[in-house]
Amino acid sequence: MTTMKIIAASALPTSAETEKVLQIANDAELAEIAASGALQGVERVELNFPKFTDGRAFSQAVLLRRRYGFTGDIRATGDVLIDQLVQMARSGFTSAVLAEGQNPEAAERQFARYRAFYQGDALEPRPHFAREAA
């Protein structure tokens, strides 16, 4: 059901990767980063959750997808808990590294619950009412 790659904390590869990765801080100005061309050729953007209750990275992911046309992987790092995975996927994240102690199987179950949501998101830009009307 989910197209999100969920990575257990213990399974995170430690070897140097060849991918071009850009880490974007929660307080970075996305418009400036995009305008500077820094997203060019980037395969993965990592957005951090310093605490799971700090929701700034949700907006950053939405803007990367919707406004700046970033098509590579957007990865959630930091305090990533399974009860926020669905909203991460809906905001445009395509991979997530779970915090210590999170159960990846319980994570999969979260994606099977809702068939649809009211508002548009990164996966389905149209709100429910627009989809119904179409």
Partner 1 sequence: MYQYTEFDQQFVKLRAQQFRDQLDRWQRGELTDEQLLPLRLQNGWYIQRYAPMARIAVPYGEISSRQLRMLAHIARDYDKPTPELLAHAQATQNELQAAQPGLTLAAEPLKYGYGHFTTRTNVQFNWIPITKAADVMDLLASVGMHGIQTSGNTIRNITCEAYEGIAEDEIVDTRPFAEIARQWSTLHPEFAFLPRKFKIAFNGSAEDRAATGWYDIGVQALKNAAGEVGFTVKVGGGMGRTPVIGSVVREFLPWDQLLNYIEAVIRVYNGYGRRDNKWKARIKILVKAEGQKFIDAVEAEYKAIVEQDGAPHTITQAELDRVRAFFVVPELKPANLPSGVKTDGALYQRWLQQNVSGHRLPGMRAVTLSFKRVGFAPGDADADTIDALAQLADQFSAGEARLTHKQNLLLPWVFESDLPALYEAARKLGLAQPNIGLLTDMIACPGGDFCSLANARSLPIAAALTERYQDLDEVFDLGPIDLHMSGCINSCGHHHSGHIGILGVDKDGKEWYQITLGGADGTHLSGPALAGKVVGPSFSASEVPDVIEAVLTTFRELRKPGEFFIDALRRIGHDPFKAAANGARHPKEAQEEALSE
Q: Which stretch binds partner 1 (CB under 8 A): 2-10, 11-19, 38-46, 79-87?
A: 79-87
Residue 105 as a binder of partner 1 (CB under 8 A): the answer is no
Residue 104 sits in the site that holds partner 1 (CB under 8 A): no
* Residue 128 binds partner 1 (CB under 8 A): yes
55 binds partner 1 (CB under 8 A): yes
Q: Is 120 in the site for partner 1 (CB under 8 A)?
A: yes
Question: Should residue 1 be labelled a site residue for partner 1 when binding is judged by CB under 8 A?
Answer: no
**What SS3 state is found at 6?**
strand
Answer for the pair 88, 58: CB distance below 8 angstroms, yes or no.
yes
Task: Check if the beta carbon of residue 108 is closer than 8 Å to that of residue 89.
Answer: no
Of residues 6, 3, 13, the one with CA closest to residue 105: 6
